[in-house]
Chain A
Amino acid sequence: MREEYIRQIRRQPALSRKAKKEIIRDLNEIFDSALEHGETEQQVARRLGSPRDFAASAAAQLDPDRAAPKGGKGRLALLFCLVAAAALAGSAGMNAAKAPAGAIGQADAMTHIQVTGGLGLDLPALLLAAGLAAAAAALVCMILALGQHRR
């Protein structure tokens, strides 16, 4: 019963390696002390609650960042991915719709274009840059999220 309980604590993702080490030491003391006073391992396990609940309560104190609702950086990565996909698709779409330079026959009648100003912004290029920046940010968030999970 003790071995099984500790084995399940080892498998809890909410706890860092350091916290697991401390908790497992404490669990061994808890079981040892109770057995010393004539209690059974089943009684102790009942008082401890499920390994998952115990790990979650302990993690909230020992690893508050890790125990916080999962997916903070993962969700951010997903958001950046969506922004990147939208920006890149927009950029690609605008480029596809654009007539190649020097194309003939793009207008049915004579056109008179008067340039009155402008910032000289190339929207497809801006979207491409935003898309690439969002993709890079998503990659960083994914790496951070993976690093936090492995810690």
Chain B
Amino acid sequence: MDNRYLQQFKKGSLEMILLCLIGRRETYGYEIITELNRSAGVLGYAKEGTIYPILYRLQQAQLIQCRLAPAAANGGSKKYYSLTEKGRGVLEELLAFWSSYESCVNGFIDSYRQGEVSQ
């Protein structure tokens, strides 16, 4: 199958998934990548090169905010991300849309399956 179709699906949902991850609790870059690779294998391998530009976009849109905290383990610092009020509102809207979108798409899939069976 042409990989572009799958890429389109993933692209559209990744921002919402990131908002969900960040909305659950304050988190940082490496934790986000690890979590995505552990529980969202279907999305493919999450890479910093893909995730960080999206984080920048969400930050620019003021949907997420960040704070720097010292990283005890390596002597550097970690950027912790959390949702802003605006981000929480947008996420709720996206989730509501996703539900109706899902049932709409499922309706088409069901009708296709039924047509396939009756043929």
Report which A residues bind B (CB closer than 8 A).
25-26, 28-30, 32-37, 44, 47-49, 53-54, 57-58, 60-62
Contact = CB atoms under 8 A, between A and B. Distances in A.
Given A49-B47, A61-B60, A35 B52 contact: no
A25 B77 CA distance: 9
Contacts of B56: 58, 61-62
A28 B68 CA distance: 13
A147 B78 CA distance: 34
13 contacts: A25-B79, A29-B79, A30-B30, A30-B52, A32-B74, A33-B29, A34-B30, A37-B30, A47-B49, A48-B47, A48-B48, A61-B53, A62-B60
Interface in B20-75: 28-30, 47-49, 52-54, 56-57, 60, 71, 73-74
B29 A54 contact: no
B63 to A, nearest CB: 12
Interface residues on B, range: 10 to 19
A54 to B, nearest CB: 5
B30 A33 contact: yes
Contacts of B47: 47-49
B73 A57 contact: no
Contacts of A53: 49
A120 to B, nearest CB: 56
A8 to B, nearest CB: 14
B77 A36 contact: no
B76 interface: yes
Nearest to A57: B53
Contacts of A47: 47-49
A35 B74 contact: yes
Contacts of B73: 36
Contact of B77 (A29, A48, A49, A57): A29
